[in-house]
Amino acid sequence: MGNTSSLLLREDEIAQIQEKTGFTPNQIERLYSRFTSLDRGNCGTLSREDLLRIPELAINPLGDRIVHAFFQEGTGDSINFLQFMQVLAHFRPIKKNKDLKLNSREQKLKFAFKMYDLDSDGKISRDELLAILQMMVGSNISEEQLTSIAERTIFEADQDGDQMISFAEFCNALERTDVEQKMSIRFLN
């Protein structure tokens, strides 16, 4: 069923969201419709459980980590539509000379880094990397192979010898990766 209390956003709300996220008015309205359909309590916010009902997130091995990204820095137990859109903006394709800081290469890398930095201490440890690898591959690879991959990754990325990967080292390791393409989702107009 979803939220029927407010099926339309006001023009000024759309303009504000467009300015902060870079989405077109049509995309905003489509995503608002999706947002309200997930809002089972008709309260104008979504909880972690609401987001985990999205089938693509429910089957994604990193679904919990992705949902966790929506609830950063003081959002509490629920997010409103603007907060929802600001996270989604990280996945907008970058358009040359026209984009916001929110979905720049650096912001996409910060978002990805947070997926690995489980304790939010600004570093990716061997154990954090191992935990993420386990989430991604499950039991398809042996524990010894996963440990070897984690240790090799730390060895190759760690430049200061602290046995951890800082954000700068993470960026450096992904220097030749097309992050802009890999972290972009095509949103229908």
- For 34-93, give the secondary structure using H, E and C: HHHHHCCCCCCCEEHHHHHCCHHHHHCCCHHHHHHHHCCCCCCCEECHHHHHHHHHHHCC
As a whole number of angstroms, the distance between CA 67 and CA 50 comes to: 10
As a whole number of angstroms, the distance between CA 174 and CA 16 comes to: 33
Q: Which CATH superfamily is domain 101-182 in?
A: EF-hand (1.10.238.10)
Q: Which helix (H) or strand (E) holds 123?
A: strand 123-124
Q: Are 90 and 104 in contact (CB under 8 A)?
A: no
What burial class does residue 46 get, using C-beta atoms within 10 Å of its C-beta: 0-12 exposed, 13-18 middle, 19+ buried? buried
Q: Is 94 left (phi over 0), alpha (psi -120 to 50) or beta?
A: beta
Q: Are 4 and 41 in contact (CB under 8 A)?
A: no
As a whole number of angstroms, the distance between CA 38 and CA 51 comes to: 7
CA distances, 101 to each of 96, 159, 188 (Å): 12, 27, 21
Instruction: Read off the DSSP letter of residue 167.
Output: H
Phi, psi (rounded to 5 degrees) for 78: -150, 160
**pLDDT for 75:** 67
Q: Do domains 11-91 and 101-182 have the same CATH topology?
A: yes
**pLDDT for 22:** 87
**pLDDT for 91:** 85
As a whole number of angstroms, the distance between CA 64 and CA 14 comes to: 29
Digits of tens for pLDDT over the chain (189 positions)? Answer: 344 444 578 999 999 999 888 899 999 999 999 999 998 877 889 998 899 888 888 888 888 888 888 887 666 788 999 999 988 888 888 765 455 566 788 888 998 999 899 999 999 999 999 999 999 888 888 999 999 999 999 999 999 999 999 999 999 999 999 887 888 777 766
Please state the domain extents for the chain: 11-91, 101-182
Q: Are 172 and 159 in contact (CB under 8 A)?
A: yes
CATH 1.10.238.10 fits 11-91, yes or no: yes
Reading the block at residue 41, the tokens are 């309590």
Q: pTM for the whole thing?
A: 0.78
